[in-house]
Amino acid sequence: MLDLVLRNKLISMNKKHKKDEQIKSSKHFPSSTREWNNSIYVYNKENLNLIPTTALTSINIIKSYFSLFNDNIEKKIRTGRLALKFRRLSSNKIYISNGEFKHTNGKVIINLYLFNRQKNNYLLAIRKLRSEIASFEKSSKLKKGLNNKKSLHKTIDNKKSLYKILRKSFYQKLKAIKSEGLSTLERFDKEKYFLIGRLKKDGKRTINNYIDIYTKNFYKNFINKSLLKIQFYMYYLQLNYINNTKYKYTYLQYLKEQLYKLYNKQVEFNLIDLKRFYLNSDVLSESITKKITRNRKNIRRYLKKLENKVKINTNISFIHKHVINNKQDEKKDLTVNNELLKKTIIKNLKYKDITGFRLEAKGRLTRRYTASRSMSIIKYKGNLLNIDSSIKGLSSVLLKGNLKSNVQFTKLSSKSRIGSFGIKGWVSGN
């Protein structure tokens, strides 16, 4: 009996030991750059004092590089001049997160998360212009009958068709000329009835002259409009090309030269392009601060739109499955294809799904200018819980002593005419 009791105890102890080992192996340790923005080890501690200031200056240089623009091409697209203040506050830009710096003896590795909203806007404009140019081509094919005088004579025999042609020409003139009131409309009405009267008196000889004038004017307007669309299409293609070249070595080498002067080391970039702006808390909070500084009266509308845009994955399995790797399983894993390996790797990645976000805006955000008061607005969706520790019961790491490893936190401040305000942003993942 004693042997059986001891045997059962040993089996239960082995099972507990295996489970503890599995739990320890599943514990996630984030990178050192997540703990602090700079990961460095130096013998002389006085060198550490300059690292925060150099990191700030390097981020400012990188942001200024990615916000470069070609004024000669942008002038041709815009009708008016865009002031530097509104250019800085515009959302048509490349958003950059705070850098993660890893220092070694010979080089500095900088991790940057980018969201290229400018490229998305250019591609959208190019698609619209393509569709408009295609519609112009279709309309020209349909209206080739205007060149054929026989078909026009048949349509002009009816008085109704004649009135339609005259109405179209007058409506085109009305659209082209800026109306200054009812006087312009009355003047065009008088001209219309005068022309119709002359056409009735003169007969068919003058009708042919009017047809020729109408066809010439139609094709002149068509050519001018289509050429403008094609020109804008080419300008947007050029701007899109300039935007893409910012990621290439031909221009990044000049940025590396400037950063080499700061660190006296070689610089290496890891540029991570984000598909959605809410995947990084720095980009999320910066985009909303620019909108609020531009027009703080619509802050609630901006936050409501942001809440609808952020997509949270609610279909996350909270059940933790312990995996035991036997020798037979290892042999099977060797025969697995590359596609299956990719799937298993992607499944085991941490923080690939967004589970929640939180935004807090505090400061002078009222609508009125006089006697303005400070107010606070909070927007929250999903949750900021660490699923590993709160639901699965696994031990988790805290960053900087109090921050959760699954949460990104950003704190920004900005100014408006009536005062300053601050924004705090949290984004959680699993």
Tell me how far apart the alpha carbons of residues 158 and 54 are, in angstroms, rounded to a whole number: 81
283: pLDDT strictly greater than 80: yes
The percentage of residues in the chain with a pLDDT greater than 70, rounded to a whole number, is 66
Helix boundaries (H) for 149-246: 149-156, 159-176, 182-202, 204-245
64: pLDDT strictly greater than 90: yes
Beta carbons within 10 angstroms of residue 235's beta carbon: 20
SS3 421: strand
What region, left, alpha or beta, does residue 400 occupy, with left being phi > 0 and alpha being psi -120 to 50 degrees?
A: left
Tell me how far apart the alpha carbons of residues 28 and 404 are, in angstroms, rounded to a whole number: 12
The torsion of the CA quartet 141, 146, 150, 154, rounded to 10 degrees, works out to: 100
Tokens representing residue 157 in the block: 């025999």
Question: DSSP readout, 263-288?
Answer: HSSEEEEEEEE-SSGGGSHHHHHHHH
Confidence (pLDDT) at 343: 66
Give the model confidence (pLDDT) of 145-161 as tens digits: 444 444 544 444 444 45
Instruction: Specify the residue for token string 């209206």.
Output: 143
Tokens representing residue 286 in the block: 């910066």
Confidence (pLDDT) at 3: 57
Where are the chain's structural domains? 127-242
Tell me how far apart the alpha carbons of residues 82 and 76 are, in angstroms, rounded to a whole number: 12
Who wins on pLDDT, 144 or 219? Answer: 219
Give the model confidence (pLDDT) of 368-399 as tens digits: 777 778 889 999 898 888 887 887 777 788 88
- Measure Cα distances from 41 to 46, 53, 264 in Å: 12, 17, 16
Among 212, 205, 171, residue whose Cα is nearest residue 191: 171
Who wins on pLDDT, 113 or 132? Answer: 113
Tell me how far apart the alpha carbons of residues 125 and 238 are, in angstroms, rounded to a whole number: 12
Q: Which residues of 164-183 are buried (b: 16+ CB within 10 A; e: fewer)?
A: ebbeebeeeeeeeeeeeeee
Confidence (pLDDT) at 146: 43
Lowest mean pLDDT among 27-41, 44-58, 244-258: 27-41
Tell me how far apart the alpha carbons of residues 182 and 409 are, in angstroms, rounded to a whole number: 59
Give the model confidence (pLDDT) of 218-230 as tens digits: 666 766 777 788 7
Report yes or no: 374 and 14 within 8 Å, Cβ to Cβ. Answer: no
Among 301, 291, 247, residue whose Cα is nearest residue 414: 291
Confidence (pLDDT) at 331: 47
The percentage of residues in the chain with a pLDDT greater than 90, rounded to a whole number, is 23
Contacts of residue 407, defined as CB under 8 A and 6 or more positions apart, other chains included, come to 384, 386, 426, 427, 428
Among 39, 27, 23, residue whose Cα is nearest residue 405: 27
- pTM value is 0.70
